């Protein structure tokens, strides 16, 4: 009754099924590994954000690359702002919104003489046109203590942004200490500080950036389960197709035998 399974058409169907099952299983594991990576990332962020503040210059040196496991650590720095080398970073979205503007980055010359730290002071709106420098609230004068989150230098690879160059003066695409060293800021420690608070506080300031969301584990686990269910349904689908074709070849729609077998109601 199932000789049709030996046909060329069913050989192709079986081959496709054999290819689909391992492919779907692998896609499920791909999504599962993405879920694991997201959980590990969120755990690390939560741990580092809750860490006790440490001095920025106790971690970093010029040219230092911030390790992944130290990103988002709470850090502090004491010094005076170097407004002469302040710059803005284009194409950045306001915290919690979708309006495109600028990040304001001001070097902080450390009071202990160990160098300077780039401080991302927050977000401001764009100017009237793309070439004009935006309106930026001035940082406080004199010595300040800043507290924030340790971030790694941005690169075109890590940010997904192409730094094409040819931008207006003091406007950049990236926050990168090597780039700013070439622009004239000396003694920069690797990485930068994303500002959370400052003492003394001043009046108008750029809009501070919020902590990263580290509670959402994302949809990847659900996607993994879906792919594995699809893989499990492939053989079920083959059985259903074979039974329907058998019934069709027998000249009776599937289920007619069952209907005839039922007693007639009186």
Query: pLDDT tens digits, the chain, 266 residues: what are they?
Result: 677 778 888 889 889 999 999 999 999 999 999 999 989 889 999 999 999 999 999 999 999 999 999 999 999 999 999 999 999 999 999 887 888 999 999 999 999 999 999 999 999 999 888 888 999 999 999 999 999 999 999 987 666 666 656 788 999 999 999 999 998 899 999 999 999 999 998 878 999 999 988 777 788 999 999 999 999 999 998 888 888 888 887 775 544 444 444 444 43
Q: How much is the pLDDT for 4?
A: 77
Q: What are the φ and ψ backbone dihedral angles of 23, each rounded to 5 degrees?
A: -65, -45
Q: How much is the pLDDT for 159?
A: 62
Do 128 and 183 share a domain, yes or no?
yes
Q: Which residues pair with 188 in a beta bridge?
A: 116
Do 96 and 9 share a domain, yes or no?
no
Q: How much is the pLDDT for 264?
A: 45
Q: Is residue 213 domain-resident? A: no
pTM: 0.76
CA distances from 116 to 4, 89, 145, 208 (A): 78, 18, 13, 21
Instruction: Name residues whose C-beta falls within 8 Å of residue 259's C-beta, 6 or more positions apart in sequence.
Output: none
Q: Is residue 45 domain-resident? A: no
Domain count along the chain = 2
Do 245 and 137 share a domain, yes or no?
no
Q: Is residue 266 domain-resident? A: no
Asked if 164 and 226 count as a contact pair (C-beta separation under 8 A), the reply is: no
Asked if 102 and 135 count as a contact pair (C-beta separation under 8 A), the reply is: no
Do 182 and 59 share a domain, yes or no?
yes
**What's the burial of 127, exposed, middle or buried (CB within 10 Å: 0-12/13-18/19+)?**
middle
Q: How much is the pLDDT for 59?
A: 96
Q: What are the φ and ψ backbone dihedral angles of 171, each rounded to 5 degrees?
A: -120, 130
Do 35 and 66 share a domain, yes or no?
no
């Amino acid at each position: 009754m199932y000789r049709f399974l030996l046909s060329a058409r069913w050989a192709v169907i079986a081959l496709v099924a054999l290819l689909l099952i391992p492919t779907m299983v692998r896609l499920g594991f791909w999504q599962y590994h993405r879920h694991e990576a997201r959980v590990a990332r969120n755990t690390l962020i939560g741990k580092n954000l809750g860490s006790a503040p440490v001095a920025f210059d106790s971690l970093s040196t010029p040219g230092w690359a911030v390790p992944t496991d130290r990103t988002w650590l709470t850090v502090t720095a004491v010094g005076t702002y170097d407004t002469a080398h302040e710059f803005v970073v284009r194409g950045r979205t306001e915290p919690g919104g979708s309006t495109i503007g600028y990040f304001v980055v001001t070097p902080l010359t450390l009071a202990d003489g160990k160098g300077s730290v780039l401080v991302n002071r927050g977000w401001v709106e764009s100017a009237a046109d793309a070439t004009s420098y935006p309106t930026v609230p001035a940082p406080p004068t004199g010595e300040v203590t800043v507290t924030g989150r340790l971030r790694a230098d941005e690169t075109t690879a890590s940010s997904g942004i192409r730094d094409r160059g040819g931008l207006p003066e003091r406007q950049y695409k990236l926050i990168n200490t090597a780039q700013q060293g070439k622009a004239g800021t000396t003694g920069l420690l690797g990485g930068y500080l994303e500002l959370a608070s400052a003492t003394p506080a001043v009046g108008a300031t750029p809009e501070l950036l919020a902590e990263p969301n580290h509670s959402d584990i994302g949809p990847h686990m659900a996607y993994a389960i879906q792919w594995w269910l699809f893989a499990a349904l492939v053989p079920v689908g083959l059985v259903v197709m074979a039974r329907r074709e058998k019934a069709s070849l027998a000249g009776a729609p599937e289920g007619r035998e069952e209907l005839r077998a039922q007693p007639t109601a009186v």
